[in-house]
Amino acid sequence: MKIVVDTENGLAPWRQVHDQVIRAVTTGALPEGTRLPPIRQLARDLGLASGTVARAYRELEAAGWVATARARGTVVTVPSGRPDRAALLASAAAEFTAQARDLGAELDDVLAAVRTAYRAHESS
């Protein structure tokens, strides 16, 4: 799993870590039982404060995405009621649509932006 934090995108770093872990679990890149890096190590790797990564882990644990035990560290779990891919996609689309409407974007422009972003991500 590769986590990337972009300090320029306006989303809090802890939230970026949180969201990327959820995406990795949902897509199967992080199967149940996978051990996450220790907080200090991940913070050092990402150039973040330990408290930032600790918050992401706390939020993930509260939602049932991970469990932490002293001997085993933080491991991926299967939360009850976990949303499926379709539900996560619908949520992301709703959030993006709200932002696009706030910008006053027309539907054709929104769809073009999604296509461009999707294609750019395919080639990377």
For the residues 3-8, what does the mean pLDDT come to? 91
Q: Higher pLDDT residue, 13 or 89?
A: 13
- At position 62, the amino acid (one-letter code) is A
pLDDT at 61 over 90: yes
> Does the pTM of the predicted model rise above 0.75?
no
pLDDT tens figures, 62-97: 988 999 988 889 999 976 666 677 777 777 788 788
Residue 121 confidence (pLDDT): 78
Q: Which one, of 55, 75, 73, lies nearest residue 65 by Cα?
A: 75
Q: Which of 40, 67, 44, 69 is nearest to 54 (CA)?
A: 40
pLDDT digits (tens, 9 = 90+) for 106-116: 999 999 999 99
Buried b (16+ CB within 10 A) or exposed e, 23-35: ebbbeeebeeeee
Look at residue 82 in the predicted model and tell me its pLDDT. 64
Split at pLDDT 50, 70, 90, the class of 60 is: very high
Q: Under a CB-based contact definition with an 8 Å cutoff, are residues 26 and 72 in contact? A: no
